Amino acid sequence: MLEDSAADGMPRYARLQKILEERLNNGTYPVGSLIPPEIELAAEFATSRTTIREALRYLRERGYVERKQGVGTRVVSDTSKSTYYQSFGSLEELFQVSVETFYVIMDMRAVTLDIETAELVGGLAGEEWMLINGVRWTEPGGKPICYIQSYVPKRFEDVVREEFPDHQGPFFTLLERHADGPIEEAVQEIRALPMPADIIRQLGLKPGSWSLQLLRRYVTDSGTLIASFNWHPADQMTYVMHIHRSKETGTE
Amino acid sequence: MLEDSAADGMPRYARLQKILEERLNNGTYPVGSLIPPEIELAAEFATSRTTIREALRYLRERGYVERKQGVGTRVVSDTSKSTYYQSFGSLEELFQVSVETFYVIMDMRAVTLDIETAELVGGLAGEEWMLINGVRWTEPGGKPICYIQSYVPKRFEDVVREEFPDHQGPFFTLLERHADGPIEEAVQEIRALPMPADIIRQLGLKPGSWSLQLLRRYVTDSGTLIASFNWHPADQMTYVMHIHRSKETGTE
DNA sequence: GACTTCTAAATGTCCATACTTATGCTAGGG
DNA sequence: CCCTAGCATAAGTATGGACATTTAGAAGTC
């Protein structure tokens, strides 16, 4: 049901987006299955087909579902198909070849605005996180290129606060020195995805903004280090970087 | 007017997209001005506001216009605001730092499929173009990462056919050797834009695909060299590269 | 069994209308 | 002169209906 009591200023189609997205995530609509047709959804939520279509448009643009005339709306949330995997033999390779090249390409300098405690959706349980807000500029005093939201385990807070302002090299070499072991292998995924509508609203981006997502997995001998980096450019262009490790990745 | 005689299978909103895009390009709707409100456009084209909005949605997602409630739809085709500019002192810098880093990041190898004569929309009059279709793979025999459509002046056809298969370095060093003069300065823009709907259809990409656009301007002493590179990944990710020079760019 | 034809279903397209909300401007009052 | 209130405007949201087009499968035919 879609009571107006839940109307926290959001339009109806936006609330439907959230509800349907939740169903995709909690398994109500499994990957590969067809979700109910528009007409059924419209009946269930007591709304018009137009509103349902507006919500489904969002899910399609996010790549969650694919729609085909005469067939239906199928869950395709398996993003692995839209991902390019790249392996690195050493961290130096990863940093120098990939991260730093992006820095060079954009020729940007970062400024840290503030640090606050944050909750990472889908993060590992038991791990506390902090959110680092920052801005990158074309040059000192120049115009802002993008906003950065970096999710980092809270146990690195002291490290970041004390050492980062003077840190010269890649940000992650700083974290690595305080991680629970040397990082021996890394895998990087590069994705391009539309920006979530709520982030667009929150940051005042243009509708239709994108994100270029770098997802990186570290593998150490002992544990898991996860950090998530979101770049929200001041304008149309958007980069989102996610850095984490996963147990499944072998050390071979 | 919007006669159905012009109905070449395209839906009405798609035809309106083209018409409005044409007006943006030919100066009917100058940059910075407000285009007529939806209600007037609906009256002019004898269609409903819904259809007009569907066409305007496309223009907004392409970054051509920005819309604000209570104000109107403003032409912002001045993409400089959504563009990051980067200057290079030498071509080597441009190639080695930027193009090649993208190659390294993606670690892709290209294979040329075929070459055909092409028409470049918005290209310089009097210049004949050819279209080079290619594919990039993760590795030889691996899965295709993206399709490439490269628009190059037709006068380079012999050069490309004869020298490219054995060419090792960047593709443009090959073109430069046959251009009308040394390239002394280059400017690169990086944009992120949604993919045009027709290209998505044509290439069978997923709806909501994007393009990362590299627009590069060469400046020689004597003339203008233009080449346009479109990367169409096999899946969600998309890169579009445009390379051309313009008279306005100074050689300073 | 293979092929064609028909049909139901689902999304795509399009319309007319109404109300809501944000914006910019103007008129009025302090 | 500044501030506020009101008003017109234009996009945003939403409804309900209609028809078109595509697809997959069922039914029928050879």
**Lowest-confidence segment of A15-29, B49-63, B69-83, B200-214 by average pLDDT:** B200-214
- Residues spanned by the domain of B51: 4-78
Q: Are residues A118 and A154 in the same domain?
A: yes
Q: Are residues B102 and B38 in the same domain?
A: no
Per-residue pLDDT band for A134 (boundaries 50, 70, 90) equals: low
Give the per-residue pLDDT at A51.
Answer: 94
What is the rounded average pLDDT of the residues B183-191? 41
Q: Are residues A106 and A190 in the same domain?
A: yes
Give the per-residue pLDDT at B21.
Answer: 82
**Could you tell me if residue B114 is inside a domain?**
yes
Q: Are residues A71 and A166 in the same domain?
A: no
What is the rounded average pLDDT of the residues A229-252? 30
Torsion of Cα atoms, B24 then B27 then B32 then B36, to 10°: -70
Q: How close B101 comes to chain A (CA, Å)?
A: 6
Give the per-residue pLDDT at A196.
Answer: 44
> Which of B41, B56, B78 marks a domain boundary?
B78
Nearest CA-CA partner of B209 in A132, A17, A19, A192: A192
Q: Are residues B34 and B145 in the same domain?
A: no
What is the rounded average pLDDT of the residues A237-242? 30
Higher pLDDT, A108 or A119: A119
What is the rounded average pLDDT of the residues A234-238? 32
Q: Inter-chain contact B237–A190, Cβ cutoff 8 Å? A: yes
CA atoms within 13 A on the CB side of B160: 24
Task: Lay out the sheet containing A239-243: strands in order across.
Answer: A84-88, A183-194, A210-220, A239-243, A227-233, A144-153, A129-137, A109-118
Q: Are residues B186 and B220 in the same domain?
A: yes
**Could you tell me if residue B251 is inside a domain?**
no
Per-residue pLDDT band for A33 (boundaries 50, 70, 90) equals: confident
Give the per-residue pLDDT at A124.
Answer: 41
* Residues in A lying within 8 Å of B, measured between beta carbons: 60-63, 66-67, 79, 81-82, 84, 86, 97-98, 101-102, 104-107, 138, 145, 190-194, 206-210, 212, 235-238
Q: Are residues B54 and B140 in the same domain?
A: no
Contact between B182 and B218 (Cβ < 8 Å): no
**Could you tell me if residue A22 is inside a domain?**
yes
The CA–C1' separation of A57 and D16, in angstroms, is 20
Per-residue pLDDT band for A156 (boundaries 50, 70, 90) equals: confident
What is the rounded average pLDDT of the residues A49-71? 83
Give the per-residue pLDDT at B51.
Answer: 94
Q: Are residues B87 and B50 in the same domain?
A: no
Q: Are residues A59 and A143 in the same domain?
A: no
Residue B100 CA to residue A216 CA, distance in Å, equals: 21
Q: Are residues A11 and A108 in the same domain?
A: no
Hey, of B201, B236, B241, which one would you mutate to test binding to chain A, going by the most A CBs within 10 A of its CB? B236
Give the per-residue pLDDT at A171.
Answer: 56
Q: Are residues A69 and A108 in the same domain?
A: no
**Could you tell me if residue B32 is inside a domain?**
yes
pLDDT above 70 covers what percent of chain B?
Answer: 27
Considering just the CA atoms, what is the radius of gyration of chain B in Å?
Answer: 20
Give the per-residue pLDDT at A21.
Answer: 83
Tell me the two tokens of residue A227: 């950090």
Contact between B122 and B25 (Cβ < 8 Å): yes
**Could you tell me if residue B174 is inside a domain?**
yes
Query: Which CA distances in Å does B236 have to A79, A237, B143, B211?
Result: 9, 16, 14, 9
Residue A238 CA to residue B50 CA, distance in Å, equals: 29
* Average pLDDT of chain B to the nearest whole number: 55
Give the per-residue pLDDT at B62.
Answer: 62
Contact between A181 and A223 (Cβ < 8 Å): yes
The answer to whether residue B49 scores a pLDDT higher than 90 is yes
Give the per-residue pLDDT at A132.
Answer: 62
Provide the residue type at A111 as one letter.
Answer: V
Contact between B123 and B194 (Cβ < 8 Å): no
> Which of A53, A77, A101 marks a domain boundary?
A77
Give the per-residue pLDDT at B47.
Answer: 92
> Which of B59, B78, B97 marks a domain boundary?
B78
pLDDT digits (tens, 9 = 90+) for B149-182: 555 667 777 777 776 655 555 555 666 677 665 5
Q: How many domains does chain A have?
A: 2
Q: Are residues B128 and B233 in the same domain?
A: yes
Give the per-residue pLDDT at B25.
Answer: 72
* Average pLDDT of chain A to the nearest whole number: 55
The answer to whether residue B39 scores a pLDDT higher than 60 is yes
Per-residue pLDDT band for B105 (boundaries 50, 70, 90) equals: very low
**Could you tell me if residue A250 is inside a domain?**
no
| Dihedral over Cα of B139, B145, B147, B153: its sign | negative
What is the rounded average pLDDT of the residues A108-125? 42
Tell me the two tokens of residue A58: 């969002």
Query: Which CA distances in Å does A35 have to A48, A181, B207, B208, B209?
Result: 17, 45, 18, 19, 22
Matching residue, tokens 């209600």 = B39
Tell me how far the alpha carbon of residue B47 is from its chain's centroid.
30
Nearest CA-CA partner of B218 in B177, B187, B180: B187
Q: How close B98 comes to chain A (CA, Å)?
A: 6
Query: Which CA distances in Å does B129 have to A214, B104, B122, B126, B227?
Result: 36, 29, 12, 10, 9
Tell me how far the alpha carbon of residue A44 is from its chain's centroid.
31
Nearest CA-CA partner of B199 in B121, B99, B138: B121
Domain CATH number, residue A15: 1.10.10.10
**Lowest-confidence segment of A209-218, A219-228, B233-242 by average pLDDT:** B233-242
Tell me the two tokens of residue A165: 């302002």
The answer to whether residue A24 scores a pLDDT higher than 90 is no
Domain CATH number, residue A207: 3.40.1410.10
Give the per-residue pLDDT at B27.
Answer: 78
**Could you tell me if residue A145 is inside a domain?**
yes
Give the per-residue pLDDT at B221.
Answer: 38
Show residues, CB within 7 A, near nucleic chain C: A 35, 37-39, 49-50, 53, 56, 67-73; B 11-14, 46-51, 54, 68-71
**Could you tell me if residue B96 is inside a domain?**
yes
pLDDT above 70 covers what percent of chain A?
Answer: 27
**Lowest-confidence segment of A3-7, A73-77, B54-58, B61-65 by average pLDDT:** A3-7
The answer to whether residue A50 scores a pLDDT higher than 80 is yes
Nearest CA-CA partner of B145 in B243, B241, B239: B239
Q: List Cβ neighbours of A3 (8 Å cut-off, separation of 6 or more).
A: none
Hey, of B58, B109, B210, B215, which one would you mutate to test binding to chain A, going by the most A CBs within 10 A of its CB? B210
Q: How close B94 comes to chain A (CA, Å)?
A: 10
